[in-house]
Amino acid sequence: MAHKLKPTALAVLAATMVAGLLSGCADNTNNNKPEANQTNSADATNQANESNGTKSENVAAEPVEISWGIHFQANAVVENSPVQQWLEKKFNVKIKPVKVTDASIASGEVPDLFMLGDPANVSAYQSQGVLMDIDPTMLKEKMPEYAKDVESANALFQTVTFDDKLWAIPMFIDLKPYDLAMLYRKDWLDKVGITKIPETLDEFEKAAYAFAKNDPDGNGKQDTYGLTGTATSTWSTGFYSIFGAFGIEPTMWQEQNGQLVNGSIRNEAKDAVAKLAQWYKDGVIDPEFITDTQDSYRKKLYNGRIGTIEEQIGKAALEDGATITGMKAINPEAQLVLGKNPQGPGGSGSWDWGTKSNFVVLGRQVKEDPEKLAKIFEILNAESNDEETINMTSMGEKGKHWDFAESGATTGATKFLPEFEKQEQRDALGIRLFSLGNITTRAYREKYSNPKLNDVVRSFSTSPSWTDSLLFAALPSDGKYKQELTALTQKYFAQFISGEIPLTDWDKYVAEWKAKGGDELTKEANDLYVKQFKQ
């Protein structure tokens, strides 16, 4: 089995490192609506008055015009979709849907209402002067139920507070189906004689070596590996559960002895890299880990090249999960089973986004238009706690586009109906385009969530073991240094693991990390931590 690689530094540096300003967590709302009476109350009053031979003095107000930034994960804007028309009628507004890009913002086309995916996105747009600051008192007055729920994740407000002003409404998420756990080829475990799903790092190592050495596919060739990674993800280094077993996550800010230290340079990271380097040397890690992605390592699992991956729990928790069905389509005889992140000397865990979801922002022009501001908060409140509005914008009409998964149910898991199972089919109708995802209240989430999936997430997620101490808040100098430092860490870690350079160069790496902006970011991280996060 060959393990010789071309210089990994070139492969790592060639990978795309930066997500666009509109990147962010996926919309995890899986909820939707029983239809309700949609009669406009003003129209009903007018009709009643006219039937009595009188003319209403309450002439309907002119619709408020709102430019609405379309969900950043949607491919395109759809004009005058059924959902847009529904919103316009319900709230007496006229919506102009627009696609938000860096270029459109730079040209001055700033929507009245839109979403961003990360505190860094909010910081970037706020620094351009295009956002309106938000009065926390108004949030509590206009969205009382949601404001009460989000208080449990109150630190999220600090991630989008700059110059002592709030610039976005944070969304939060408690149970995250995108948390990572281990997913094993159960039939391979059986083949190599392992009857217990690994729980410790030692047990995981035993299974990984057996997958690489003991011919689990039975073809008489040594052509399998225990695992692979994603060395060039946009935010970190891959192998998250292995680093978690040592108590750290590279690129995250984590508290150590009262101070924030970046996980990329802690000694625990060196220990994890040493373990990975040994596995690579022994032929346990796929040499293509340097360029692998989550999509490619799923295909390798399906096709019998590797025996375990780190997978989003929601994709493998139930029989209809995307990875389970993907495996059945390619290799129907294979069996998959979830396992917990392995327990090591520093605990257990994986990359975790904490309670952070996306953020709602308003264009600065809204501040000068009280009527528009009031209307936007009316809509935001409905998007947070009104079933009719949430369901229509996120899944469409009950019985036509979606229904409950269990026949006759009025709560629980939902499913899309035939002809609307693909996202592009729903986008054409405006479904999702105007959804604000995780701005919903806990009461709504509880009613429309899948209890079976929730139970699995609770069982296998280690959240929030290793989330960022600043909840991924942007630092003043991130724009100058963060991208380069992430690339530097990825390059060195790939070289250490592959054996291209010796681990004795660790101190050289740390010194370079500090000199290229790491020291400055560390100071800023600690200053922000003391000012806004440390209790």
Query: Do 210 and 340 belong to one domain?
Result: yes
Copy the structure tokens of residue 441: 């209240």
DSSP 57-79: S-PPPPPEEEEEE--TT-SS--T
Q: Which two tokens stand for residue 100?
A: 């938000």
Task: Phi first, then psi: give them for residue 509, nearest 5 degrees.
Answer: -60, -50
- At 422-466, the pLDDT tens digits run 999 999 999 999 999 999 999 999 999 999 999 999 999 998 778
- CA 147/CA 230 separation, integer angstroms: 37
Give residue 60's pLDDT.
65
Residues 270 and 399 in one domain: no
Q: What is the pLDDT of residue 50?
A: 41
In a domain, 226, yes or no: yes
Placement of tokens 């995890």 in the chain: 28
Q: Does 424 share its domain with 515?
A: no
Residue that finishes a domain, picked among 421, 441, 461 = 441
Query: Would 56 be classed as within a structural domain?
Result: no
Specify if 193 maps to a domain. yes
392 and 344 share one domain: no
Q: What residues contact 468, with CB distance under 8 A and at least 6 apart? A: 252, 253, 254, 354
Predicted confidence at residue 535, as pLDDT, reads 65
Domain membership flag for residue 253: yes
Q: Are residues 82 and 106 both part of a single domain?
A: yes
Residues 264 and 339 reside in one and the same domain: yes
Q: Is there a single domain that holds both residue 132 and residue 186?
A: no
Nearest alpha carbon to residue 212 among 226, 194, 233, 230: 226
How many separate domains does the chain show? 2
Whether residue 323 is found in the same domain as residue 230 = yes
Write phi, then psi, for 248 (nearest 5 degrees): -145, 170
What tokens does 302 get? 């399906």
Q: What is the CA radius of gyration of the chain?
A: 25
CA dist 133 to 69, 71, 98, 169, 171, Å?
18, 21, 21, 10, 16
Closest of 354, 323, 120, 155 to residue 249, by C-alpha:
354
Residue 222 lies in a domain: yes
Q: Are residues 187 and 293 in the same domain?
A: yes
Which residues, given as ranges, of the chain have pLDDT below 70?
1-60, 535
User: Does residue 315 share a domain with residue 189?
Assistant: yes
Which residue range(s) make up the domain with 169?
A: 64-174+356-441
The answer to whether residue 164 sits within a structural domain is yes
Between CA 289 and CA 56 the distance in angstroms is 71
Residue 9's pLDDT is: 44
DSSP 427-438: HTTTTTTT---T
Other C-beta atoms closer than 10 Å to the C-beta of 444 total 21
Q: What sections of 287-402 are H helices per DSSP?
A: 294-302, 313-316, 322-330, 370-385, 387-394
Cα 497 to Cα 237: distance, rounded to the nearest angstrom = 11
Tell me, yes or no, whether 48 lies in a domain: no
Q: Would residue 219 count as lying in a domain? A: yes
186 and 159 in one domain? no
Q: What is the CATH number of the domain that holds 240?
A: 3.40.190.10
- 81, 156: one domain: yes
